[in-house]
Structure 1
Amino acid sequence: MVINNRQQEILEILFNKKDVITSDKLCSAINVSSRTVRNDIKEINKTFKDKGINISSQKGKGYRLNIEDIELFNKLIKKKVNNLESDYLTKEERYNFIIFILLKNNLENTEYITQIELADSLYISISSLKNDLKIVKEKLEKYKLSIAKVSNKGIMLDGEEEYIRYYINKQLQKSQLFKQTFNSIYQNKVSSISKDDISIIIRENIIKFKLRLTDVSYKNLMNCIQICILRKLYNKKIQYQREYMDKIKNESSSYISEKICSDIKDRFDILLIESDIVFITKHILSSNTIVKSKYEILSMLNTQDLMNYKLVEEIINAIDINFGVNLDSDDILKDFLVSHIKGAINRAKYNIKVENEMLNNIKSNYPFSFGMGILANDIIKKNIGIRLCEDDVGFLSLHLEASMRRLEINKERKVKKVIIICSTGAGTSLLLKVKLQKQFGNQLIIVDTIPWYEFDEKLLSVLDFVISTMKLDSINKDRIVYVKNLLDEEEIQNIKSKINDVQSSEISLDKRFKEDLFFMNSNITNKSEAIKFMTDKLVDRGYINSEIQREFFKREEISSTEIGDLVAIPHTMHSDIKESFICVLILKKSILWDKKQVQIVILIGMANHEQKEWKLSLEKLYRNIVDIQTTTKLIKSSDFNDFINYIKYII
């Protein structure tokens, strides 16, 4: 057995006291109840039985630590402390446990739990529990829930019934322990209708109404109905406005919900009321359905799906115009977007919470695709009058990123004819040839390896491009890729661009930083001030106009550009930006941007004609700058030259 932190603290207090200490003083010192102290002392004595270590109780006086061998005591205590981590809950595990207890009590209709009981179950002090509760409250606030005090007796989960039900469903998807507990409570309380019974009714009705749910959505719908049945037993009702309920009931999915609830009443005599039907309908509306192809949509004459298909085509066309990325040939993307947008629009329309746990990673790793997702959101707003939440924009961005990867793979199947020009000898030429063949396989046909003096412009008429280790005097510079003897990552990307018929600019990312757009030691105190300061400078210097200035603010309203580790990267692409730029602001003190502290603001304006280059450049910048050691060094830059020298090193 391993002692916990609180038991370790008891031993230390008694050891340092070297005398009797009263129960009250010991309880006060570690902020727990006398019962907890008694239980801990019992565990300590059990752990160190036959080791010459014992805590004795003296009636009317208190507790004393008795040690027969001080060296053995020190050795054992050190060993126990070193082994503590394996059996001790992490902070995150404690937060999840508190949430679990609060939800479990809510499901069982338990009025409250005292903080002392909760602290005892976690083996922590009251003061530690109070700190944990602050974090738990923040986590619950995202779901419009809170922790309420019950007449100074204890605490309980609090919030509107609909939000409590959504959170129960979320935990059923996330926590295996909670799922087991929920199933146990359900089986004990609801004997007339099992999970299998519900599944049969759902299956019958989705087949009847030709609704094709994904496996995840099917399981969530089953959870949703179980929750409705269980909450009914405690007379827990959702309060909806009459106008809102009528609006939901006009949706075609309402017929499915009504029939499911009718079957439950007819077969098992369990009556789910009107608000339950609305709750179930909202779940169906927001569910992900099995993807239909364009041909299925056309043959079924589904008006809504046809409208969404036209919307997707408009999005893809806008991405081509604004980002220079042509995704029109990817039918897989179109089919998936039609399915996703249908659920996303319903989620936004009825304010249904969706959580994208990958959102921060998507924004950091795929900023270019996320920008396309924001453009898609603007088009949805223009056509439907509804703006998707940031989490759904993240999901859209993943579909767009996957499409670009698919098209890139298809392009890589193209075979290009090249020659190698190398000035350093046959051995080096052969090594370079082997490296190219290993890297690109059958994507490259290496026609020949020649010395520089044999190069003739006429060769280009039968080649796709030339790979050379030295500068050549040629009028077709865009058909020549310069490499070192050993291929580096940037050179490999350049060759990939040629294989994929992508024109790659020779301007490296560090050249985008300009001294006249570098500012330090500003006393700015918030995000709006920072963006205004930087864009005002850009307007004054002729880089942007007032319309583009507004675009930066608009982009920030849609989705925060903070990326962590004290960095924010506001950015936009616009047809009126003639020359791409990177503007830098280093603040004296960090400011709260949205949810994170920021001290370096890197504001980027991308010219439309350079859009293809910017995908890799932007991702490279995000990838290399998100590191607290890197940002700390950049913050300490003495001037622009100092800053740019380090930027060159990291990118």
Structure 2
Amino acid sequence: MRQRFVSAAPDRHGLHNLVVHTAIAIGRAQQGHTMTYTLRQTKHLEKAKEFDVATSIFEEIFRKTDIDVAAGEIYYLAQHLMASKKYIDGGEGADQKMQELVMKIIRDIDEHVNIDFSQDQVLIEWLSVHLQTAIPRMKFQMNIRNDVLEVVKSEYPLAFQIAVIASSVIEKEEKVSVNENEIGYIAIHFGAALNRIDIKNDMVIRRALIVCASGMGTALLIKTRLEAYFKDRIIIVGTVAGYTLTEEQIHSVDMILTTIPLPQFQSDRIIPIHHLLDNEELQQLEQRFYLMPHGIQGEITSFFRKDCFYTGRQFDDCQSILNFLTDELREKGLMTEAEKASVFEREQASPTEIGNLVAIPHPIYGDPPESRISILILDKPVLWEKERVQLVFLISIAKDQMASWQSIFLKLFTYLVKNDGVKEMLREPTYEAFIRNFTRQFNT
């Protein structure tokens, strides 16, 4: 995926874009259409050297072709030239600024979806390069078409979700609006990064903290045993003494492996180690943190519950639907008010309709106590954003189950869009029928 981004040489790409934008300006001039800019915008652009370059280009075009463009086209081309530059004035300062922004993005992603990209130098470098030109483009509100947007949204849902989180950081830090096409391009970088750290359909990565008394020898042995057994599926974030452990540290990882009692804390993430992680203890960890409960059937029924399956309802628009589904989860203690707001924020960033009468909304941020996917089958379709929707799946996933969510999402997408899932659900709108038919997809 990264090759798609870097395949063309930057100079050739930039020259091609310059020719395209110049041709667009000439075409507008010949058709009598004009670009308009405010007084404030024109004063800002006139101060830039790119304005002089754009003026020279159109003067030469007039001299050679006798085509005279409106003054607005000069501002338009100057705007494009400025957006094509490296961020600010280029050089090490720009590179450093972008890398700092990328690291903020990576920290935010780690906090919300429990995936750490901080050691991926390829991602840091190329996302920084991408943002150096993308952010000025956003500042000037220059639209860019993304021909692979729908593919990215449907085939790489986790990467797209991560890109939505990244875009919210960019909007906050840079005071710009990141549209859906730009989010799609950012998602390509994270899709490649996910492949590099080997998060596949059935891959789950857990974070562990080791707690010991004082000697580090025991902790080192436990760390070695964990890494040998789980390999790339576990990240040991550190080793601490019991008296220094904090609630914040407990909530930042999936498991606390301790050789000493910790009576001052009450958390199901604390796992006592009695036999220096012998094979039985390792297998217990495997069963608890990695294996699906009772096979795929257990995993599906842990996400999809009968008390979150709704039929026989009528709504006029997507706002009413989202309010209903999020309020239902809130009443069950499975969604906070902030997470509800995040569902609407996610919808505004990029509508979640996926075609074939289906929408799959979900929050940008959240870490509910239990993962849940609510299902609403409407009596009649409603207009979502651009398409009609009759089946709605509201996804609320705990961050330590993000990898499982990607697997479920891809199967759900295949079932609903590529197979006959929508017809089956509308023909037999019951929870039992859905579980039976959807589970069948995992055996194909």
| Superposition TM-score, scaled by structure 1 size | 0.49
Q: Of 320, 324, 330, which residue of structure 2 is paired with 1:533?
A: 324
1:362 lines up with 2:152 in the alignment: yes
1:336 lines up with 2:126 in the alignment: yes
**1:225 corresponds to:** 22
Q: Partners of 2:124 and 2:230 in 1: how far apart?
A: 34
Q: Of 40, 46, 55, which residue of structure 2 is paired with 1:243?
A: 40
Aligned pairs for 1:214-613 within 5 A? 214-229=11-26, 237-251=34-48, 253-258=50-55, 260-261=57-58, 274-287=71-84, 300-301=91-92, 303-408=93-198, 464=229, 474-477=280-283, 504-507=290-293, 508=296, 509-511=299-301, 512-572=303-363, 574-613=365-404
Q: Partners of 1:578 and 1:610 in 2: how far apart?
A: 11
Specify whether residues 465 and 283 from structure 1 end up closer, same or farther in structure 2 by C-alpha distance, changes over 3 A only.
closer
Give the superposition deviation at 1:568: 0.9
Q: Partners of 2:315 and 2:13 in 1: how far apart?
A: 47
Q: Which amino acid aligns with 1:506?
A: M
Tell me if the contact between 1:505 and 1:613 (Cα under 8 Å) persists in the aligned partners: no
Query: Deviations along 1:282-312, whole A, 9 cap, x unmatched?
Result: 22234487x9xxxxx7xx33x4443222111
**1:34 corresponds to:** none
Specify whether residues 525 and 287 from structure 1 end up closer, same or farther in structure 2 by C-alpha distance, changes over 3 A only.
same
**2:437 corresponds to:** 646
Q: Which amino acid aligns with 1:642?
A: A
Tell me if the contact between 2:344 and 2:363 (Cα under 8 Å) persists in the aligned partners: no
What SS is found at the alignment partner of 1:322?
A: helix
What SS is found at the alignment partner of 2:397?
A: strand
Give the superposition deviation at 1:251: 4.4
Q: Partners of 2:389 and 2:31 in 1: how far apart?
A: 47
Q: Partners of 1:462 and 1:322 in 2: how far apart?
A: 24
Q: Partners of 2:330 and 2:285 in 1: how far apart?
A: 37
Give the superposition deviation at 1:345: 2.1
Query: Deviations along 1:153-180, whole A, 9 cap, x unmatched?
Result: xxxxxxxxxxxxxxxxxxxxxxxxxxxx
**2:412 corresponds to:** 621
Q: Which amino acid aligns with 1:589?
A: K
Give the superposition deviation at 1:392: 0.6
Query: Deviations along 1:6-33, whole A, 9 cap, x unmatched?
Result: xxxxxxxxxxxxxxxxxxxxxxxxxxxx
Tell me if the contact between 1:217 and 1:288 (Cα under 8 Å) persists in the aligned partners: no
Tell me if the contact between 1:574 and 1:607 (Cα under 8 Å) persists in the aligned partners: no
Specify whether residues 260 and 479 from structure 1 end up closer, same or farther in structure 2 by C-alpha distance, changes over 3 A only.
same
| Superposition TM-score, scaled by structure 2 size | 0.71
Query: Deviations along 1:328-386, whole A, 9 cap, x unmatched?
Result: 22222222222222332223222212111221221111111111111111111111111
Q: Partners of 2:197 and 2:84 in 1: how far apart?
A: 28
Give the superposition deviation at 1:514: 0.4
Q: Partners of 2:13 and 2:33 in 1: how far apart?
A: 26
Specify whether residues 403 and 236 from structure 1 end up closer, same or farther in structure 2 by C-alpha distance, changes over 3 A only.
same
Identical pairs, percent: 25
Q: Which amino acid aligns with 1:637?
A: E
Tell me if the contact between 2:127 and 2:186 (Cα under 8 Å) persists in the aligned partners: yes
Gaps spanning 5+ residues in structure 2: where? 1-8, 200-224, 232-278
Give the superposition deviation at 1:272: 6.1
Q: Partners of 1:520 and 1:264 in 2: how far apart?
A: 64
What SS is found at the alignment partner of 2:116?
A: coil
Q: Partners of 2:197 and 2:392 in 1: how far apart?
A: 33
Q: Partners of 2:34 and 2:63 in 1: how far apart?
A: 21
Tell me if the contact between 1:323 and 1:612 (Cα under 8 Å) persists in the aligned partners: no
Gaps spanning 5+ residues in structure 1: where? 1-211, 292-296, 410-459, 467-472, 482-502
Aligned pairs for 1:137-216 within 5 A? 213-216=10-13
Q: Partners of 1:547 and 1:574 in 2: how far apart?
A: 8
Tell me if the contact between 1:504 and 1:613 (Cα under 8 Å) persists in the aligned partners: no
Q: Which has the higher contact order (CA 8 A, sep 6+)?
A: 2
**Paired residue total:** 355
Find the structure with the greater CA-based Rg. 1
Q: Which amino acid aligns with 2:312?
A: N
- Identify the range of structure 1 (586-595 vs 306-315) with the bigger mean alpha-carbon deviation: 306-315
Q: C-alpha root-mean-square deviation of aligned residues, in Å?
A: 3.3
**1:422 corresponds to:** none
**2:205 corresponds to:** none
Query: Deviations along 1:418-457, whole A, 9 cap, x unmatched?
Result: xxxxxxxxxxxxxxxxxxxxxxxxxxxxxxxxxxxxxxxx
